[in-house]
Amino acid sequence: MEEQLIKNGIRYDGRKFDELRPIEAKVGILKNADGSAMFRLGNTVAIAGVFGPRKVFPKHEEEVDKAVLRARYVMAPFATSDRGRPGPSRRSTEISMVTRKALIPIIFLDEFPKTAIDLHIEVLEADASTRIAGINAASLALADAGVPMRDLVCACSAGKVQGHVVLDIAGKEDTEGELDLPVAYYPKKKQITLLQMDGIAKNEEVKAIIKLALKGCEKVYEAQKNALKSRYGIEEEHKSEKVIE
C-alpha cells in the first residue's frame, strides 16, 4: 500500500503545508578558505568554501574583462544511508553548473578581470533539497569572502505531495511525491535565478508552487542576513549605538 505522507492536513514529519524545516546558518566556519558558510535545512547540511579572486589556472580559462566563477558541488560518500561513490558524477556536474548560473547575476565579476573565484560546496547530510542548501551556503560564503555582490541569493523548494502544494520538499516527499520544484531568488530585483521542475502539474498548480517557494526564499533570506550580522557583530554595534544615544 502507498504510504500516507499527509494525514489530517499534516505532513509525515509533522509540518504544515507552508512550513519550512528548522534552519541553521553559520558563516566563517573554515579556517583555510577566504570565505565559508554552513547551511542546514532539517537533516540536509551543506558547507561552502570560497577561494579568490586569484590567478586562473590553467591560464586559457581566464576572461580578459571579468572574473571566472567556478563552482564544484559534491556529496560526501556518507551523506546518505547508501554509501555513494567518491568523486564527481553526472548529477554533481549538473548541480555545479546550475549553482554557478544561479549565483552569477549577483556578483560583480567585472571588477576582477583575469582572475578566478573558486566555490566548493560539499553536502555532509542529505535529506532532499541538497542543491538548495548548497546555494544558500555558497551565497553566504561569497559574502564572507568579501566578494562584491549586489545581494544574496536565497533558495527554497516547493512541490506537490499527494495532491497538495507544500513548501520545502524533504525525505520521502522527494522520492514518493509528485513534483519537486527548486527555486533560487535574487530578492532586491525580485528575480528568479534558478527554476527547475521534476514532475508534472497543471499551469495553476505550477504558479502556486512557485509562489510558495518564493515565500520560503524570503524566510531563508532573513536567516542568511541574520547569520552575517551575527558573524560581524552588526547587531551588537547597533545596540551599543542606542546605549550611547
What domain range includes position 24? Answer: 16-233
Inter-residue contact 68 to 116 (CB < 8 Å):
yes
Residue 1 in grid coordinates = 500500500
Total domains in the fold of the chain: 1
CA–CA separation, 162 and 177 (whole Å): 6
CATH number at residue 99: 3.30.230.70
The answer to the question of residue 209 being in a domain is yes
The answer to the question of residue 78 being in a domain is yes
The answer to the question of residue 43 being in a domain is yes
Residue 91 sits at the vertex; the CA angle it makes with 158 and 12, to the nearest 5 degrees, is 35
The answer to the question of residue 7 being in a domain is no
The answer to the question of residue 2 being in a domain is no
The answer to the question of residue 99 being in a domain is yes
Residue matched to cell numbers 545581494? 151
pTM for the structure as a whole = 0.91
E strand or H helix that includes residue 241? helix 234-244
- State the Cα torsion 142-148-149-150 to the nearest 10°: 170
* pLDDT tens per residue across all 245 residues of the chain: 456 899 999 999 999 999 999 999 999 999 999 999 999 999 999 999 999 999 999 999 999 999 999 999 999 988 876 655 666 688 999 999 999 999 999 999 999 999 999 999 999 999 999 999 999 999 999 999 999 999 999 999 999 999 999 999 999 999 899 999 999 999 999 999 999 998 888 999 999 999 999 999 999 999 999 999 998 886 544 443 333 33
The answer to the question of residue 245 being in a domain is no
The answer to the question of residue 148 being in a domain is yes
Contacts of 118 (CB under 8 A, 6+ apart): 50, 51, 52, 54, 70, 72
